[in-house]
Amino acid sequence: MKRYFILLIIVRFSLQLSAQEWVVAPADAALKSPFAFTDSTRKAGEAIYVANCKSCHGDPGKNNAIQLVPIPPDAASVKMQANTDGAMHYKLIQGRGPMPSFKNTLSSTDLWRVISFMRGYNPKYVQEVALPTIAGAAAQNVSIKLDWNKASGQVEASLTSLKGQVSQPVAGAEVKLFAKRYFGNLPVDEARKSDAAGKVAFNFPKDLPGDSIGNVQLIVKLTDEVAYGEASAEATLAVGVPTNRPALTAPRAMWGVLAKAPIWLIFAYLLAVLTAWGFIAYVISQIKAIYRAGSKEQL
Ligand code: HEC
């Protein structure tokens, strides 16, 4: 029995040892940040770290991580800093065991920012920035303009980037169009790539409801944040079908006034209110009864 127990312990620990290898494919490990790490990226990264990482990893250099299995390595530790930037990025996207995946919660730009913050605790670190792709090089500081082409019925976006003092079109960048709704953004049309003149035309549905004069709030976003950085634009264009939507609190909304409420609703409501008050009255009467019984006892 004892022997089995010892064997079990050995197996348990060897499993843990083998689990400590976190293999990152060479291509992932070689990934580099598309932008240089500066004081401002470190500062932005610090806020992200405090909000998302500190609860487990603790303060960098203080070795005060939460005691999980395995223990989250300190951001300033040799173990953490031995990662290439790409390996950190990969591990942040993948997660493992208690380490959550940040694939859907942090943008790629935010991931690089938090990496830049952690690198601030490594005096030997020298950053290698990704060689920008041809499109990417032209496309730093992308700005987008949105317009409505009445003749074609399309919404057009034009992408330009500032290179030095010259603004030039951004070709071959993928963009998505959304309409702002009450709950989240509604994708409109498919993702499209800009042409040589930096223009993208989205087919706009003819039946999308707008506000009372047909205004729809539109958002365009570049999809490839790694190559281009974050860029988006918003515009309010009269491209929708004019729709009068009563405010939910307006008197003419469904049950906003008594006269419009169905009779069953009034009864159900009254019944619920009376039951609640009846219960409270019952509890009070019982407390009184206890009090009375108590004072009789004393006599
Ligand atoms: C719920 C706790 C938790 C949170 C939150 C968390 N981590 Fe981790 N992290 C861990 C644990 C545990 C490990 C060790 C995982 C392993 O080795 O299997 C780890 C491992 C890592 C590694 C790999 C270290 C190595 O061994 O190479 C990196 C990089 C990392 N975390 C960064 C972050 C960053 C940056 C954040 C915030 C954006 C974060 N973690 C948030 C628990 C957490």
pLDDT for the residue numbered 136: 47
Q: Measuring from atom 34 of ligand 1, which residue has the nearest CA? A: 53
pLDDT for the residue numbered 256: 63
**How far away, in angstroms, is 57 Cα from ligand 1 center?**
7
Greater confidence (26 vs 82) lies with: 82
What is the best residue among 56, 80, 90 to mutate for testing ligand 1's pocket, by most ligand atoms within 8 Å of CB? 56
Mean pLDDT of the chain: 83
Handedness of CA 33, 34, 39, 44 (dihedral sign): negative
Let me know how long the chain is: 299
Decide if pLDDT at 277 tops 90: yes
CB-based contacts of 177, cutoff 8 Å, min separation 6: 155, 157, 187, 188, 189, 202, 218, 219, 220
pLDDT digit string, tens, across residues 213-239: 888 889 888 887 766 767 778 888 888
What is d(CA 159, CA 165) in angstroms, rounded to the nearest whole number?
16
pLDDT for the residue numbered 134: 42
Q: Give the pair of three-digit tokens for residue 131.
A: 């060689």
How far the first Cα of the chain sits from its last, in Å, is 70
Handedness of CA 107, 109, 115, 118 (dihedral sign): negative
What is d(CA 285, CA 278) in angstroms, rounded to the nearest whole number?
10
Q: Measuring from atom 36 of ligand 1, which residue has the nearest CA? A: 53
CB-based contacts of 76, cutoff 8 Å, min separation 6: 60, 61, 118, 121, 122
Q: What is the CA radius of gyration of the chain?
A: 30
pLDDT confidence of 299, banded at 50, 70, 90?
low
Choice among 1-10, 17-26, 253-262 with the minimum mean pLDDT: 1-10
Q: Measuring from atom 8 of ligand 1, which residue has the nearest CA? A: 99
**How far away, in angstroms, is 8 Cα from ligand 1 center?**
28
pLDDT for the residue numbered 150: 83
Report the range out of 68-77, 103-112, 215-224, 254-263 with the highest average pLDDT: 68-77
pLDDT digit string, tens, across residues 142-175: 788 888 888 888 888 888 887 667 778 887 788 8
pLDDT for the residue numbered 132: 53
What is d(CA 293, CA 287) in angstroms, rounded to the nearest whole number?
10
What is d(CA 170, CA 148) in angstroms, rounded to the nearest whole number?
20
Q: Give the pair of three-digit tokens for residue 40.
A: 């401002």
pLDDT for the residue numbered 65: 93
What is d(CA 18, CA 201) in angstroms, rounded to the nearest whole number?
53
